[in-house]
């Protein structure tokens, strides 16, 4: 006769998501007269969405201008120098994903 004295412990493999804290930039009181930077992530249709957004911003919200930056690939981060140029010269920056 064989006896089995093994003990098993059930472990829950799930975890809670770890979310980094984020403090966004302060909101603009108005877009009228603001210069807006737009970052295109190079995914399919991102340019279509962002061009439409640019027209709405110009016509409805009377922004003063738009500065564009197109990433070489959606999987790569934006060039830090380009981001610095955008943040230094624009009042707001929009990032969007295509598809």
Question: Nearest Cα to 30, choosing from 65, 66, 61?
Answer: 61
Per-residue tens of pLDDT for the chain, all 99 residues: 566 778 888 888 898 888 888 888 889 999 999 999 999 999 988 889 999 999 999 999 999 999 999 998 888 888 999 999 999 999 999 987 767
pLDDT of residue 26: 86
Provide the CA 65 distance to its chain's centre, in angstroms: 21
What pTM does this model have? 0.72
CA 82 to chain centre: 15
Cβ atoms of 86 and 67 within 8 Å: the answer is yes
């Amino acid at each position: 006769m064989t006896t089995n004295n093994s003990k098993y412990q059930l472990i829950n493999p799930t975890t809670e998501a770890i979310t980094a804290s984020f403090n966004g930039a302060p909101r603009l009181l108005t877009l009228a007269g603001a210069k807006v930077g737009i970052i295109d992530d190079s995914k399919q249709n991102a340019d279509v969405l962002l061009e439409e957004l640019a027209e709405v911003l110009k016509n409805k919200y009377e922004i003063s201008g738009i500065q564009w930056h197109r990433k070489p690939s959606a999987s790569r981060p934006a060039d830090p120098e380009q981001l610095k140029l955008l943040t230094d010269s624009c009042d707001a920056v929009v990032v969007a994903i295509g598809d």
